[in-house]
Amino acid sequence: MLSGDNSGRDGAGEQGLMDASELRSGLEAVRAAASSGLAVAGDEAGVDALRTELLGRSGRLTGLMRQLGGIDPAERPALGVLANEVRNEVEAAIGQRLNALRSSGLSDRLEAERIDMTAPGRPVRVGHLHPTMTVERDLREIFHAFGFEIFEGPEIEDDWWNFEALNIPPDHPSRDLWDTLYVAEPGSWEAGSPRPAEDGSILRTHTSPVQIRVMQALQPPIRAIMPGRCFRYEAVDASHSFEFFQVEGLVVDRDTSLADLKGMLEEYARAIYGEGTATRFRPGYYPFTEPSVAFDVACLVCGGPGCPACGRTGWITILGAGMVHPVVLRSGGLDPDEYQGYAFGMGIDRMTMLRYGIPDLRLLMSGDLRFLEQFPEGR
Ligand code: DAH
């Protein structure tokens, strides 16, 4: 049974020395272990472990092949052939199983990550401008085309900028505590006894203070518009709000006249309301202009005969204007003997209501998407 002559060399060790039939059944057992093991190996790691167990350096098949040397030389060739056959078969089966696992993993992934290129796109919700900002932007464009520069000023001003510089005397009604929103002195609100800030900070009641800033910053000739948010202590109703928008205009040069003001504003009315729009000037009063005018256009709703929108007068006042008062020029650092100018101011909220037929100012302030989404043209 044992030739023994190679027993020291082959180191078959633990398995002890085998005879031919033991070796044959050992090889068959490896073949069987491969096919049953592969049948249950569910992933690549499982197959790798099986490969190591059967074919690895100290695996079962390697151990058996080491026994070959000790086999009866008559049986040896046939067993050698069988051992090689088993090795090739097991290797092939393992390779096949790995391929199958890899490709099924891939197809699972492809399925999970499938993108249907033919599916219809989901609409992207693009926001749009608030209607008031659409109107403001139109005004910027019109005046820009007329050669006006655009400036913005701070929303918090103090008494000097908002009133004094604009020739508004202390007893003027617009300085009334009930018209102006005062910034509270720090701490006084929290202490339960709010009082106006000692530094005189208020929320600007109009965009007119920006005129002063522009005059101080620029040298004439000046042509500027100044859009912005304004605040007043108002009870909110269909046509009033504590917060609203204005556009201020200012033109200053050596010999600017009332005729320039009239020509400019008529041109503006045609640009925004159409060529045939009828206009008129009426005398008005503002502390910061002298003389002052109110500028009307034929009612945009009824076109003249009179309706509720125009108070049955057939006219709608779209802005106030006038020649810049010498006191105001001086506040801006300009010499009234050298320069004259005209100014105008208009409310954008009312323009927006007229343009879109919006009946209540509160809708503009609401932030209600059901309302806002009706004005998608502002981009
Ligand atoms: N500041 C005025 C207001 O709030 C609007 C205004 C009127 C501005 C006449 C002007 C102007 O520049 O000349 O009602």
Tell whether ligand 1 has an atom less than 6 A from the beta carbon of residue 273: no
- The reply to whether ligand 1 has any atom less than 6 angstroms from the CB of 294 is no
Cβ of residue 55 lying under 6 Å from some atom of ligand 1 = no
Report in angstroms the alpha-carbon separations of 329 from 164, 223, 313, 341, 350. 12, 14, 35, 8, 29
57 CA distance to ligand 1 middle (Å)? 97
How would residue 15 be classed by pLDDT, with cut points 50, 70 and 90? low
For ligand 1, is residue 206 a contact (CB within 6 Å)? yes
Q: Residue 289: CB within 6 Å of ligand 1?
A: yes
The verdict on the CB of residue 208 being under 6 Å from ligand 1 is yes
Q: How far does the centroid of ligand 1 lie from the alpha carbon of residue 18, in Å?
A: 114
For the Cβ of 321 lying below 6 angstroms from any atom of ligand 1, the answer is yes
- pLDDT at residue 12, as a whole number: 41
How confident is residue 4, by pLDDT bands cut at 50, 70 and 90?
very low
Closest C-alpha to ligand 1, atom 6: 345
pLDDT at 127: 86
- Residue 174's pLDDT is 63
294 touches 265 (CB < 8 A):
no
φ/ψ of 41, rounded to 5, equals -70, 115
Contact present, 202 and 159 (Cβ < 8 Å): yes
Residue 222 CA to residue 84 CA, distance in Å, equals: 101
Average pLDDT score, the chain:
89
The burial class, CB within 10 Å (0-12 / 13-18 / 19+), for 83 is buried
Question: Mind listing the pLDDT tens digit for each residue in 288-311?
Answer: 999 999 999 998 888 888 888 788
Task: Output the pLDDT for position 6.
Answer: 43
* Mean pLDDT of the 7-35 span: 75
Distance (Å) from CA 350 to ligand 1 centroid: 15
The angle, 0 to 180 degrees and rounded to 10, between the axes of the packed helices 60-67 and 44-55 is 20
67-100 pLDDT per residue, tens: 888 888 888 888 899 999 999 999 999 998 888 8
Contact 83, 65 (CB under 8 A): yes
Q: How far is the CA of 152 from the centre of ligand 1 (A)?
A: 16
CA 183 to ligand 1 centroid distance, Å: 22
Query: Is a pLDDT exceeding 70 seen at residue 284?
Result: yes
Using an 8 Å Cβ cutoff, are 244 and 349 in contact?
Answer: yes
| pLDDT band at residue 13 under the 50/70/90 scheme | very low
Q: Has this prediction a pTM greater than 0.85?
A: no
162 lines ligand 1 (CB under 6 A): no
Instruction: Please tell me if the CB atom of residue 209 comes closer than 6 angstroms to any atom of ligand 1.
Output: no
| Residue ID of nearest Cα to ligand 1 atom 7 | 320
- Compute the distance from residue 144 Cα to the ligand 1 centre, in Å: 20
Residue 106 has pLDDT above 80, yes or no: no
pLDDT of residue 177: 56
The total of other beta-carbon atoms located within 10 Å of residue 246's CB is: 22
Angle at 104 between CA 101 and CA 110, to 5 degrees: 140
Report how far ligand 1's centroid is from the alpha carbon of 319 (Å): 8
Q: Report DSSP state, residue 176.
A: S
Ligand 1 in reach of 64 Cβ (< 6 A): no
Taking the centre of ligand 1 as the mean of its atom positions, its distance from the CA of residue 286, in whole angstroms, is 7
Q: Which pLDDT tens digit goes with each residue over 314-365?
A: 998 999 999 999 999 999 999 999 999 999 999 999 889 888 888 899 999 9
Residue 7: per-residue pLDDT: 41
Give the pLDDT score at 8. Answer: 40
The secondary structure of 261-329, three-state, reads HHHHHHHHHHHHHCCCCCEEEEEEEECCEEEEEEEEEECCCCCCCCCHHHCCCCEEEEEEEEEECHHHH
Tell me if 325 CB under 6 Å of ligand 1.
no
Q: Which residue's CA is the closest to the ligand 1 atom numbered 8?
A: 345
d(CA 239, CA 220): 37
Q: Indicate if the pLDDT at residue 209 is higher than 50.
A: yes
pLDDT at 42: 81
Structure tokens at 98: 């790995």
pLDDT above 60 for 14:
no
pLDDT digits 0-9 by tens, 144-179: 999 999 999 999 999 999 999 999 988 877 676 568
Q: Pick from 204, 206, 265 the residue to mutate for probing ligand 1's pocket: most ligand atoms within 8 Å of its CB.
A: 206
Gap from CA of 21 to ligand 1 centroid (Å): 115
Nearest Cα residue to atom 5 of ligand 1: 345
The pLDDT of residue 161 is 95
Note the pLDDT of residue 1. 43
Which token pair is 118?
Answer: 């033919």
Rg (CA), the chain: 46
Contact criterion met (CB below 8 Å) for 154 and 204? yes
What type of residue sits at position 335? D
In percent, the amount of the chain with pLDDT more than 70 equals 95
Alpha carbons 269 and 342: distance in angstroms, whole number: 17
- Report the half-sphere exposure of 79 (CA within 13 A, side-chain side): 24
Residue 170, pLDDT score: 81
Pocket test residue of 288, 295, 325, 346 for ligand 1, highest count of atoms within 8 A of CB: 288
